[in-house]
């Protein structure tokens, strides 16, 4: 805890460029010296945090070796909800508190999810490209029917992930007249009557949308086996985490027609190299890849930034909030 008689706390922001330029970062409410880096590679982290008491990071990883050198470190304030970039066990062992951001994307992620769903369900990208290529003139009538157009009303939306975002997406689905089913966690049963077995969700859904954290139990939870059981050839939407879907298996599923389309905002490697399976899929009219921006409305990012400073201020007042441990929240 800081007092006015103590020297200013050393605060290091490792990757300010991961927040939009128009985002205002409020000044913390205690004496401090702030060092801001636009980007920080994994190899640069150790040197940049060696004297820090508070580290702010969004995507720059802080692991055991870096924590070992950072003898003064007291708080890692993660500027995101996911904390897989932090070695939580090592942080706990070194007496370092880790905080994260919660419930800031309750509008932006569901809206982005449904933007992808609507674009794909109504083949809007394919029709736009066709018009640009002169197909409407070639058709020589008021419309043409080259790509499928399907309503959302009456279709089944399978939601994998029952947190705040999954529930918000489900609410939008119900507003469109969709039948919403929540999936049991893969490999579990008996979660109650409000949940549907994971495999059944794969079989019954017209659209499957993912809102799960990335953990060992969820990594590649949709792969060759799951694509094979998708009887209704659904749309697959992932605005959650890269790694939830086996990307090589997705490539096969889309090119073989096992799914009718896919909309992804996340990739295991960001940005993906040009030879990555997801980049190769961009030639398909039924695939959309956006650059991890589902979270990034101006309103959401400003809310994140405000909560980030609130977390730091609370810690310095001796009342840490949004604390993450190896055991969870």
Q: What would the DSSP string read from start to end of 256-305?
A: HTSSSEEEES--SSSSPPTTSHHHHGGGSTTEEE--S-TT--HHHHHHHH
The reported pTM is 0.87
Mean of pLDDT values over 86-93: 96
Residue 120 sits in the same domain as residue 34: no
Q: What is the pLDDT of residues 126-157, one digit of tens each?
A: 999 999 999 999 999 999 999 999 999 999 99
Please give the helix or strand (H or E) that residue 10 lies within, else none.
strand 9-13
Give the whole-angstrom CA distance, residue 21 versus residue 12: 18
Q: Is residue 69 part of a domain?
A: yes
* pLDDT reading at 44 higher than 60: yes
Q: Is residue 325 part of a domain?
A: no
* pLDDT reading at 181 higher than 70: yes
Question: Which positions are catalytic?
Answer: 241, 270, 292
Residue 113 sits in the same domain as residue 99: no
* pLDDT reading at 12 higher than 70: yes
Residue 143 sits in the same domain as residue 262: yes
Residue 167's pLDDT is what? 96
* pLDDT reading at 5 higher than 60: no
Buried b (16+ CB within 10 A) or exposed e, 306-322: bbbbbbbebbbeeebeb
Residue 161's pLDDT is what? 93
Residue 172 sits in the same domain as residue 229: yes
Residues 6+ apart with CB under 8 A from 172: 110, 113, 114
Q: What is the pLDDT of residues 270-285, one digit of tens each?
A: 999 999 999 999 999 9
Residue 133's pLDDT is what? 95
The confidence band for 207, taking pLDDT boundaries of 50, 70 and 90, is very high
Q: Is residue 328 part of a domain?
A: no
Residue 93 sits in the same domain as residue 127: no
Residue 68 sits in the same domain as residue 198: no
The confidence band for 2, taking pLDDT boundaries of 50, 70 and 90, is very low
Q: Is residue 136 part of a domain?
A: yes
Q: Is residue 54 part of a domain?
A: yes
Residue 127 sits in the same domain as residue 243: yes
- Residue 34: give the domain boundaries: 9-104+298-316
Residue 263 sits in the same domain as residue 192: yes
Residue 6's pLDDT is what? 67
Residue 27 sits in the same domain as residue 59: yes
Q: Is residue 194 part of a domain?
A: yes
For the chain, the average pLDDT equals 94
Is the preceding omega at residue 73 within 30 degrees of 0, hence cis?
A: no
What total of structural domains would you count in the chain?
2
Residue 82 sits in the same domain as residue 152: no
Residue 135 sits in the same domain as residue 206: yes
Percent of the chain whose pLDDT exceeds 90: 91
The residue with tokens 């650059």 is 291
Does residue 77 contact residue 86 with C-beta atoms inside 8 Å? no
Q: What is the pLDDT of residues 208-265, one digit of tens each?
A: 999 998 888 999 999 999 999 999 999 999 999 999 999 999 999 999 999 999 999 9
Kindly list the distances between the CA atom of residue 287 and the CA atoms of 47, 101, 121, 250, in Å, as whole numbers in the listed order: 41, 30, 11, 11
SS3 202: helix
The confidence band for 193, taking pLDDT boundaries of 50, 70 and 90, is confident
Half-sphere exposure of 182 (CA within 13 A, CB side): 22
Does residue 288 contact residue 265 with C-beta atoms inside 8 Å? no
Residue 7's pLDDT is what? 84
Does residue 193 contact residue 216 with C-beta atoms inside 8 Å? no
* pLDDT reading at 1 higher than 70: no
User: What is the domain-level CATH number for residue 13?
Assistant: 3.40.50.720
Q: Is residue 19 part of a domain?
A: yes
* pLDDT reading at 327 higher than 90: no
Q: Is residue 327 part of a domain?
A: no
SS3 99: strand
Residue 163 sits in the same domain as residue 267: yes
Residue 191's pLDDT is what? 81
Please give the helix or strand (H or E) that residue 181 lies within, else none.
strand 179-183
Give the whole-angstrom CA distance, residue 140 versus residue 161: 46
Residue 220 CB coordination number (10 Å)? 15
């Amino acid at each position: 805890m800081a007092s006015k008689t103590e020297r200013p706390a050393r605060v290091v922001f490792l990757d300010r460029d991961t927040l939009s330029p128009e985002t205002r970062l409020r000044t913390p409410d205690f004496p401090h010296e702030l060092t801001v880096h636009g980007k920080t590679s994994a190899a640069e982290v150790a040197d940049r945090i060696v004297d820090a008491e508070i580290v702010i990071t969004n995507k720059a990883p802080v692991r055991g070796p870096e924590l070992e050198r950072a003898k003064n470190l007291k708080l890692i304030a993660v500027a995101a909800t996911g904390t897989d970039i932090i070695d939580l066990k090592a942080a706990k062992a070194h007496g370092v508190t880790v905080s994260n951001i919660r419930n800031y994307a309750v509008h932006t992620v569901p809206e982005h999810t449904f933007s992808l769903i609507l674009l794909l369900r109504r083949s809007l990208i394919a029709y736009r490209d066709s018009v640009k290529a002169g197909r409407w003139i070639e058709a020589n009538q008021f419309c043409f029917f080259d790509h499928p157009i399907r309503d959302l009303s009456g279709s089944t939306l399978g939601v994998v992930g029952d947190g705040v975002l999954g529930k918000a997406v489900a609410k939008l689905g119900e507003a469109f007249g969709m039948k919403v089913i929540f999936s049991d966690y893969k490999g579990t049963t008996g979660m109650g009557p409000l949940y549907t077995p994971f495999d059944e969700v794969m079989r019954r859904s017209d659209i499957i949308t993912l809102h799960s954290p990335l953990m060992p139990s969820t990594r590649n939870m949709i792969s060759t086996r799951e694509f094979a059981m998708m009887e209704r050839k659904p749309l697959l939407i992932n605005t959650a985490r890269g790694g939830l879907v086996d990307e090589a298996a997705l490539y096969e599923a889309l090119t073989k027609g096992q799914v009718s389309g896919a909309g992804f905002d996340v990739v295991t490697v960001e940005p993906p190299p040009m030879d990555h399976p997801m980049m190769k899929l961009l030639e398909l009219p039924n695939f959309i890849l956006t650059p991890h921006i589902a979270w990034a409305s101006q309103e959401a990012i400003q809310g994140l930034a405000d909560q980030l400073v609130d977390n730091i201020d609370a810690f310095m007042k001796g009342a840490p909030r949004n604390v993450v441990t190896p055991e969870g929240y």
